[in-house]
Structure 1
Amino acid sequence: MKSLLTASILALGAAGALAQDKPRIGATVYGLNAEFMQIWADAAANHPAVKEGLVDLTVFDGRYDALVQQEQFETMITEGYDAIVFVPHDIEAGAAAVDAAAEAGIPVIGSNTRVNSDKLKSYVGSDDVQSGYMEAKYVLDKIGCKGNVVIIEGPIGQSAQIQRLEGNMKALAECPEVKVLEQQTANWSRAEGQSLMENWLTKHGEAINGVIGQNDEMALGAIEAIKAADIDVTTIAIAGIDGVTDALTAVKAGDMASILQDGAAQAQGAVDLAIAAVLPDYQPKSDIWAKYTDMPWNGGKDAEYNVPWTPVTAENVDALLAERQ
């Protein structure tokens, strides 16, 4: 997917250079190494308004670095982009970039992860506290609210890490007999999640009853470590968040639980909002507004749009996998 996505981003950037009369939308995302943000960026690039040529869109890879994203904002401001969609790497560091765009009169739409700024025009994402609670509750219910768990966190300082941890702890507070043996970041990385789990298995062995992975990639890394240690993965309760393809397959196999985060809806909703900020009479072209009737468009005027979570189950996993074909 990434090679196709990169090609589409470059093509869209070239189109922007040839058609300066069209509104130009820039999107800087925290990083494109993993599938979830690739899904987000691909959906943005394939937004109906972009494909029809109503606007030009350029997606920038933030490379998991708040400073890189700051520089990308500076580029978009200097080049006179009409609106910016922002998926920040850091909740605090991203605020200066939003301030600079606001001073330049460029509307900024937040998506997926949050930034601590009151200058966003709007935000479209999902409730990370809720997902953190949901995944932890699955693990705790499966181990009967007794035993030991480990928590694999996202990048420290990103809003999803902060809020999912809040949800994790809310669920853990309901199970006072459960002990958190280890808690550390793996930066959304499958490889880092595997390495952490290898170390924890060496230290704690079969004392680990549950793994709360704040995203699927890290939970999948933990599964690889467990299998490599010749431990039956079904004896450990494991949960992640996002619904990436490998996680859907793992759910189907009974290895883990996952909660689908609809990155495509977040991306296309954010692009609709960015266009509406530039073209006042614009009506949304994405079908996500019909898909999620509990998230009405409301003229694109709401400060926040909340895309619902979808727990991955035995009943819906095949349909979700089919959508990835």
Structure 2
Amino acid sequence: MQMNKRTLVATLLAAAGASLLPGLGAAAGKRLVIGFAQTGAESEWRTANTESVKSAAKAAGVELKFSDGQQKQENQIKAIRAFIAQKVDVIILAPLVTTGWDTVLKEAKAAKIPVILESRNVEVKDPTTWASFVGSDFVEEGRRAARWLLDHTKDTQGDVNIVELQGTVGSDPANDRKKGFEEVIRTNPRYKVVRSQTGDFTRSKGKEVMEAFLKAEGKKINVLYAHNDDMAIGAIQAIEETGLKPGKDILVIGVDAVKGAFEAMMAGKMNVSVECSPLLGPQLMEAAKKAAAGETLPRWIKTNEGVFPQEVAAKEFPNRKY
């Protein structure tokens, strides 16, 4: 079928105009606008995460609308609705908990605004309401913590009594770090979790709950497994206040590998920290630009992480960025 001259010219002009667009689903020359609904600032990790996203947005020339959820899901939902009303190009959500997002994510989808989950995942009926998850394998982090413990205590005799400080109830990392840890220690009946309670990922609550564990179990505790380093550091204070030596009388395992954990390891008060990198900003900016351009993203963009025992803390400390 032949194309008439008028149609041909219109087609060529449209193609030329499209080639001038930045590929971000916006008019030529318009900056990419991203709304970021953060959980809060409950830990060293979360503060570093916020800074990574903000600095990466600035470096990428992106306009970032930031909202601090202050550890409340309703604040995050309000922020997402505000971003939808402002017609941002992409929404980044660090969900406080896994459930309760169905309605607001449907609203974002109806507004044709892609949502990228970061650091934590969600459970929704319609998985097409979010475009990608950028973050860690929390189950594997739990497994790594348990593998270190089994290897480190393989020559000891008798039962190994473990107390566990869980993260925020209902959050993805708390659920999965518990699951991965249990999966590995279940292989050896010597290892028993005798107490397990949430410390809300905070240093102060970690100290408070560890005090309760020590009152209940006393010197029977052999190991503390904390779902993040901040809770572990709070718990170390509680252990010291009872006259016990953290890192010796009670082995201390944390997750995140923040600077505070390395300082505790160098002081001999903590034994290992499993890395969970908060420096997701560059990966998020790249993913956001692709999502705004209409590209299909991988369902999971993983971060590369390791395990840092006490023995390498002094050597690795100068390399830590958070």
TM-score normalised by structure 1 residue count: 0.82
Match of residue 121, structure 1, among 111, 126, 131: 131
Instruction: Assess if the C-alpha contact under 8 Å between 2:35 and 2:92 holds in 1.
Output: yes
In the alignment, which of 224, 240, 258 is matched to residue 254 of structure 2? 240
Give 2:58's match in structure 1, choosing from 40, 50, 59: 50
CA distance in structure 1 between the aligned counterparts of 2:243 and 2:65, rounded to whole angstroms: 46
Aligned counterparts of 2:320 and 2:195: Cα–Cα separation in 1: 36
1:211 paired to 2:220 = no
1:104 aligns with one of 104, 111, 124: 111
Q: Does residue 1:136 correspond to 2:143, yes or no?
A: no
The separation in 2 between residues aligned to 1:316 and 1:88, in whole angstroms, is 31
Deviations 1:203-224 (CA, angstroms, capped at 9, x unpaired): 2111000011011111111111
SS of the residue corresponding to residue 312 of structure 2 reads: coil
Contact kept in structure 2, 1:30 and 1:87, CA below 8 Å = yes
Q: Is the 8 A contact 2:222 2:249 kept in 1?
A: yes
Percent of aligned positions that are identical? 25
Aligned-partner Cα distance in 1 for 2:240–2:174 = 26
Equivalent of 2:90 in 83, 96, 100 = 83
1:72 corresponds to which letter in structure 2? A
SS at match of 2:181: helix
For 2:165, which of 136, 152, 155 is the aligned residue? 152
Q: Which runs of 5+ in 1 are unaligned?
A: 1-19, 281-298
Q: Which residue of 2 aligns with 1:164?
A: 177
Cα distance, 1:70 vs. partner? 0.5
The one-letter amino acid paired with 2:198 is T
Q: Deviations over 1:85-129 (max 9, x none)?
A: 111001012333222211111001111100113121111111000
Q: Please give the root-mean-square deviation of Cα atoms over the aligned residues, in Å.
A: 2.0
SS in 2 for 1:175: coil
1:190 and 2:203 aligned: yes
Deviation at 1:149, TM superposition (A): 0.7
Which residue in 1 is equivalent to 2:312? 315
What secondary structure does 1:156 align onto? coil
CA distance in 1, matches of 2:199, 2:239: 16
Post-superposition CA distance 1:248-288 (Å, at most 9, x none): 11122332210121111x232122211221246xxxxxxxx
Cross-structure match for 1:38: 47
Q: 1:130 to 1:52 in 2, by over 3 A?
A: closer
- Structure 1 letter corresponding to 2:50: A
| CA distance, structure 1, for counterparts of residue 65 and residue 225 of structure 2 | 35
CA distance in 1, matches of 2:102, 2:259: 32
Unaligned runs of 5+ in 2: 1-28
CA contact (8 A) 1:131 1:167 kept: yes
Alignment of 1:275 onto 2:289: yes
Deviation at 1:317, TM superposition (A): 4.8
Deviation of 1:22 (Å) = 1.8
CA shift for structure 1 position 312: 1.4
Question: Is the 1:138–1:239 contact (alpha carbons within 8 Å) kept by the matching residues of 2?
Answer: no
Aligned to 1:70: 77
Query: Would the alpha carbon gap of residues 317 and 126 (structure 1) be closer, same or farther in structure 2, given more than 3 Å must change?
Result: farther
Q: Hey, what's the Cα distance between the residues in 2 that align with 1:60 and 1:96?
A: 19
CA distance in 1, matches of 2:314, 2:46: 20
The answer to whether the 8 Å contact 2:258/2:320 transfers is no
After superposition, give the CA deviation of every residue in 1:221-247 in whole Å (9 maximum; x if it has no partner): 111111111102112111010011110
TM-score by length of 2: 0.83
SS in 2 for 1:200: helix
- What's the counterpart of residue 230 of structure 1? 243
